[in-house]
Structure 1
């Protein structure tokens, strides 16, 4: 062991970020550069201490360099030398307007790195303290608020698994010293020296000056990021409390009640909207976008159906509520109603509608429960499969209404009406899931009840 050995410190960092057990899966984002080579080497040594960690190196070839094939070979050979499983992926990049090739490459890379993760797996990247400094400086350049000044997070939940960065407390100089001590080899991406890119400009022209003047600048910037992360946690907690007060459930989503959010200060109102976006796995809206949501959607004329389009989704207003609507292609209806055969869950309309079925002992008077005689056929259908003028009398109401009028009365926006699941019992309409139950006809007793809810 040398004075430059980081293994014990690295092991401690890893244990704070991950549930390190035998067979825990760690997928290392392996570019072949200094940082990822050190990361992979540390994992190999940690595994060789006697643990049974499942480690693999995942290299993504963007096809942007003439040396890309040689880099793939380097990463493959390195993994072979360290007895680590190797995965490689190729992506093709098509330049989009107003999107940098750097941002597009990062987006594609993360899609490749995360698409095959299991729920208990960890994607590990080699970001370090100098990267944190660059990220904070870029956030200052953009005029970011607290969310941007958080910098790089040490741990993030993914759709499946987690993303962790156990090298964030180490400087690039420490990584270089480690690599030299263990005679490691790595590759240099020629694009990293191109100062057309803002991050490279900061790395090569700004950071050296800052370190010369203030040698501890990477540590102090990391401390600033850590403090902002702590403050953001507090803002998220407040946002969650306010969101509960300002939101309501409609079908399988949470919508924002405009009259409630208007009672908040501008700061808390914006915090609620950011929280809402985050809960739906969208990036935080900018200050400009928040202002547009308020002025162009919330404050639009009463008779309007305003919306603002974002990348992949839109914000819309309908009858006093705000909706986040994901852009999705059209779906095909099944040829006939789907008969329930006792499944705990049904996935319908390409998975956009998921229903849970649970048998219950006693009738529950809500829109989730239905009761029926033994042997009855229970089926699920959608509006287009019902007769155009079909009527129903919701329980507790006088008189019947057409399904079309009821969807309007229950404040279902036009773009959601085709996704409302209806329950049929022996071919007769029984309920609209999450909205209402039809008053049953007087035809003898019932044998069974179940709840049908959105999963």
Structure 2
């Protein structure tokens, strides 16, 4: 036993301890640490080691997924372990949604971490080298690209959570030895060996077979993830340049986009489609957007729905719209209204909220404030003489010239006195019309920007 402890102390002092202390000083000199502890061997060892290094800076959280009968008892094991070492511990029960159980449990777990972490804390997790290698294998089998094959990072940010995995370079064998040497108790989750789950199948069936042929496989696969992380950083820098050239979060400039090489187009589309989501879309989704919208005929009504967005091409741009935005023209019912306006009155139109204000420029005469006005739905075929322009235009042409998107045109309404058009309410604000009711220093509806 003395020899075993000596070996532990030697490795602990020379390798892991100094590495963790250096990392903490470099990346998290002021932060405290929230240890995600499942009660398993890996996380119990992590909790013990972090307590040895940072006894005043840690607390623990156990996420109870409530998927197995003993899950609450496992939480009590973690609580007792922490009580003996005077570590603050919180047990959080979560509801796991239906669907892919592994993925839904992961999402529920991270949502709980986000909710319960303190402002000045870093989430510390016990992922190790074999976890990393398994992740690489599973993502390879699912057809992941460079970002997916980068697997887990030692220092990472996910949904605003700062994550540290200090054991990522430790082998499973090393963890087992240290746990035995330190006489640490832990719980065993039977689902870890249930080959119904992909990761358990990989660990129980694929791993021994491959390791028999390639004894250094774990280290080699982990090294591949490091190389993929380097490649992904280079790719990210290129993507950032392409994004600045071609994209906003909800628009894609096709003229600039088509100057890129095909691989860069594909990568940029993947990132743009992902948006604020956690995962990149499938290659099939990227190819459908390219084929059905970007490469469609110029006069085609090119639209693609990829949950939860509609992707619409208009005037050499691809627009990303929510379902509410895209379907509003079909769902919103607008009717003619009667208006009796007065100064400082707030009026609500299809295109937004307006306030009736006096202007020092051309506006409508004050006599109209005492009269009944009509707010009409655009029917099509109307002509309007907009103030400052020569002659009457079809309203449709004026809307097109202003580049008001087709899915917003239902918001256009006409303000009239009898049959005289006084102006037009649009998504771009109120357009004053030339009429006998125009007056310098009169009044106008001014759109309120929220």
TM-score (norm: length of structure 2): 0.72
Alignment of 1:112-123 (within 5 A): 112-117=112-117, 120-123=120-123
Higher helix share: 2
How is 1:301-450 mapped onto 2 (pairs within 5 angstroms)?
Answer: 301=297, 302-310=299-307, 312-326=308-322, 383=351, 385=353, 387-388=375-376, 409-413=401-405, 442-443=440-441
Give the conservation status (yes or no) of the 8 Å contact 2:303–2:310.
no
The structural deviation recorded for 1:415 is 5.5
Which one of the candidate residues 276, 292, 298 is aligned to 2:294? 298
- Aligned position for 2:51: 44
Larger Rg: 2
Change (3 A) 1:12 1:314: farther
Instruction: Quote the residue 2:165 is aligned against.
Output: 165
Q: What RMSD over aligned residues (CA atoms) do the two structures have, in Å?
A: 4.1
Q: Secondary structure in 2 aligned to 1:168? A: coil
Contact 1:27/1:56 (<8 A) preserved: yes
Contact 1:257 1:322 in 2 (8 A): yes
**1:85 is matched with which residue: 88, 91, 99?**
88
Distance 2:167 2:200 in 1: 20
Conserved in 2, the CA contact under 8 Å of 1:58 and 1:86?
A: yes
Q: Is the 8 A contact 1:4 1:177 kept in 2?
A: no
Match of 1:356 in 2: none
**Contact 2:156/2:163 (8 A) holds in 1:** yes
Once the two structures are TM-superposed, the CA of residue 233 in structure 1 deviates from its matched residue by 1.2
Alignment check: 8 A CA contact 2:32 2:121 kept: yes
Residue 272 of structure 1 is aligned with which of 268, 274, 298? Answer: 268
Deviation for aligned residue 1:261: 1.6
1:201 alignment counterpart: 201
For residue 119 of structure 1, report the CA deviation from its aligned partner. 5.4
Q: CA 1:212–1:284 in structure 2 vs 1: closer, same or farther (change >3 Å)?
A: same
Q: Which contiguous aligned blocks of 4+ residues in structure 1 show a shift greater than 6 angstroms?
A: 328-331, 375-382, 389-407, 416-420, 428-433, 436-441
Instruction: State how many pairs are aligned.
Output: 385
Q: Once structures 1 and 2 are overlaid, which stretch shifts more, 147-156 or 222-231?
A: 147-156
Instruction: Report whether the alignment pairs 1:150 with 2:150.
Output: yes
Matched, 1:8 2:18: yes
- Cα 1:211–1:398 shift into 2, 3 Å: farther
Q: CA deviation at 1:401?
A: 8.8
Q: Deviations over 1:53-73 (max 9, x none)?
A: 2x2222221221111121121
1:335-368 CA-to-partner distances (Å, cap 9, x unmatched) read xxxxxxxxxxxxxxxxxxxxxxxxxxxxxxxxxx
Matched, 1:56 2:59: yes
Query: CA offset at residue 77 of structure 1?
Result: 1.7
Question: Which residue matches 1:26?
Answer: 33
Q: Residues 251 and 319 of structure 2 are in contact (CA less than 8 Å); yes or no, is this contact kept in structure 1? A: yes
Q: Deviations over 1:275-331 (max 9, x none)?
A: 324553452122222111111222335341412223x44434334322334567999
**In structure 1, distance between residues paired with 2:384 and 2:32:** 53
CA contact (8 A) 1:119 1:161 kept: no
In structure 2, relative to structure 1, the CA distance for the partners of 1:241 and 1:64 (3 Å cut) is same
Which shows bigger deviation, 297-306 or 37-46? 297-306
CA deviation digits over 1:117-162, x for unaligned, max 9? 4554322221111011101111222232222211112233234341
Unaligned runs of 5+ in 1: 334-374, 421-427, 445-451
C-alpha displacement of 1:163: 2.3
Q: Structure 1 CA distance, aligned partners of 2:395 and 2:174?
A: 68
2:129–2:170 contact (8 Å) kept in structure 1: yes
Q: Which runs of 5+ in 2 are unaligned?
A: 1-7, 333-342, 355-374, 413-421, 433-437, 443-447
The alpha-carbon deviation at position 26 of structure 1 amounts to 2.3
Cα distance in 2 for partners of 1:273, 1:29 equals 35
